[in-house]
A and B are shown apart, each in its own frame.
Chain A
Amino acid sequence: MAPITIDKVTKVYPNGFEAVHELDLDVAEGEFMVLVGPSGCGKTTALRMVAGLEDISDGTLRIGDRVVNDVSSKDRDIAMVFQNYALYPHMTVGENIGFALKLRKLPKAEIKRKVNAAAAILGLTEWIDRKPGQLSGGQRQRVAMGRAIVREPSVFLMDEPLSNLDAKLRVQMRAEVARIQRRLGVATLYVTHDQVEAMTMGDRVAVLRAGVLQQCDNPQVLYDNPKNLFVAAFIGSPAMNLFESTLAEGATSALVGSQRIQLGDAVLAAKPGLKAYANSPVVLGIRPEDLPVAGDDEPMLPGATGVLEGDVELVEALGSELLVHFTTDARRVEAEGAKEADAEGLNSGTLARGGEGVARVEPRARLAAGSRARFNLNPLRLHFFDATTGQAITS
């Protein structure tokens, strides 16, 4: 029996707003499941329904083998970590961690033992008599975690627990939270708007948009085979380049702006569905790392069949790689709502007009702003989407 089974769960607010629409999601034993999406996509509402802080309008929610739609929060055997930690400021770290046990009327000695054990796991032992006000952000975050783990629940719920931390600490705590979760082996439902967090922490990632589940799979599958434009644009940083395109010559080549890209037969063999789109518009998706720079003496890298040219607008040197912002005369496609999640990449919309794109290339490529760049294209690494429905053309 899965620890959490969300079965066609819907949330409609009294004002008629549907925050979550028929969400289906299973969290397996010991699994770290991340709910990700732009703000307002319903991920927090979904989590709060699991926590019992919001009523479920329709559908069934099971925790273990119990239907808990009408079970109160405290009887659901869950623990929740909030974005702002919600530590009790007038209690010490130890009292904060032990409060739930005290309410359960456990013997004092046992509370103490469990609190100390939790504090040891989190490296909080020396702070146990401090008040939250005397702790740093990372320590407070750990106290909030401690309050959750001390109860030994069957499910952890976490609502953006890292977003109040500064960038460096967030990366550190990201690993730590994942480590603790793996060590305890408790099924976890984790909400975040940060796709990097989702990718790095989740065993599986569920992408939500406007209350509707878009795709749920392990991070690499989401990255390699996004089901639709939204997931393609949302997952990955910098985001996938999406251009309007037309398939020509019986779908053996693609027009991107004024450029023609040879696809070759391998693409059609892998994605025979493309034939149906011959001479019609599609959206062409290219991951930034799938745009290697073509050398002067070696115009075509192995596997590449086509070349995309662009005018370099800006080169960001990150040391290990270069982010090359370029423009083409093709029209860029935006997946609505997916943009804001791209926190780490430069928001290219402010930089250039028209068909701008980003390429992630090796650091020794000699490219400067104002020059013309030639990128190799491996057609098997291209993504195609239906221009009207946004669904990926996969087969």
Chain B
Amino acid sequence: MARSRRRVGWHRYFNGLYLSTALVAVFVLLPIYWLVVTSFKTPGAVGSSPPQYFPNPFSLVNYKVAFQQNSFGHYIVNSAIVAVISTVLVLSIGTLAGYALGRLPMRGKFPILVILLMISVFPAVAVVAPLYLLLRDIGWLNSYQALIFPYTAFNLPFAIWILRNYMLGIAREMEETARIDGASPLRTVWSIILPQAMPGLFTAGIFCFTACWTEFLMALTFNSSNNFRTIPVGIALFGSQFTVPYGTIFAASVVAVVPIAVIVLVFRKSVVSGLTAGAVKG
């Protein structure tokens, strides 16, 4: 009896599924581990051979350099402004568009959805040059809106798709009940639809925020002034023609990853949770 129970326990932890999961986890986490560890090494230890697997001595000098000698704090503020405003815009427009495409009787829904899908897979490189000319002509180069508007445009299609699918999942009877209860269409969207579309909003919001936070090409092209640089561009331009300060870059990258990690951890439950569970079927 005892023996068979032991064997069950053994199987529970050492079967193929667990092993493959562990392998994937190691594969994904190793670079992050290396990123964090390296950021705490002294500049001299960064490229040492044999490599240090643990920082020795433990040092915060890379962080100091990033924030004091390079204006990294300023880049964070820029990134936050651009990413937050873009995300808010994307979610507000995306919710209304998603509702319209999901629910309202509309001509040409299908073509619109296909076009949106095409836009979302369109390579950004192809539009950077014409956009540059356009922004130059209207005098928007080196500004927040030079990034906010393209980011909003490029992230909207995906958000609309996600939100539309969420709207489709909300029972139509829910709206009809609200209508009989006496709710106006806007009230219905606000009190009934939005609370139920929350997981969709979080998902779309996180994708959008991450995309804006890490976008490089447009940020590099449109905003050459140091005042409007975002994190990815700022990190890439650390150092000079002759030196690459790996330690500083690693430290800055750790700081850049933290907000995303926090957001995902905080909202993980909202994204995953079946908020609509139990609403409809008995």
Contacts and interface: CB of A to CB of B under 8 A. Distances in A.
A125 interface: no
Contacts of B196: 88-90
Interface stretch (B50-58, B112-120, B209-217, B274-282): B274-282
B14 to A, nearest CB: 37
B186 to A, nearest CB: 12
A79 interface: yes
Contact of A86 (B174, B182, B275): B174
A137 B278 CA distance: 9
B183 to A, nearest CB: 6
Interface size class of A (residues with CB under 8 A): 35 or more
Contacts of A85: 279-280, 282
B277 A89 contact: yes
Contact of B176 (A79, A86, A132): A86
A51 interface: yes
Nearest to A164: B282
Contact of A74 (B180, B195, B279, B282): B180
B187 interface: yes
A132 B277 CA distance: 8
B192 interface: yes
Contacts of A19: none
Contacts of A99: 178, 181, 183, 191
A100 B183 CA distance: 8
A131 interface: yes
Contacts of B191: 99
B180 A80 contact: yes
A84 B281 contact: yes
A74 B179 contact: yes
Contact of A73 (B174, B180, B281, B282): B180
A85 B282 CA distance: 8
Interface in A122-160: 131-138, 140-141, 147, 151
Contacts of B137: none
Given A53-B179, A79-B180, A100-B182, A90 B275 contact: yes
Interface string A102-117: 0110000000000000
Contacts of B180: 51-53, 73-74, 78-80
A103 B187 contact: yes
B129 interface: no
Given A84-B280, A99-B183, 8 more contacts: A85-B279, A86-B176, A86-B280, A87-B279, A88-B279, A89-B278, A103-B182, A165-B282
Interface of B: 171, 173-174, 176-183, 187, 191-192, 195-196, 274-282
Interface of A: 51-53, 72-74, 78-80, 82-90, 99-100, 103-104, 131-138, 140-141, 147, 151, 164-165
28 contacts: A51-B176, A53-B176, A53-B180, A74-B183, A80-B176, A82-B173, A83-B173, A84-B173, A84-B281, A85-B282, A86-B174, A86-B279, A87-B278, A87-B279, A88-B192, A89-B196, A89-B275, A89-B277, A89-B279, A90-B195, A99-B178, A99-B181, A100-B181, A103-B183, A103-B187, A133-B274, A140-B282, A151-B181
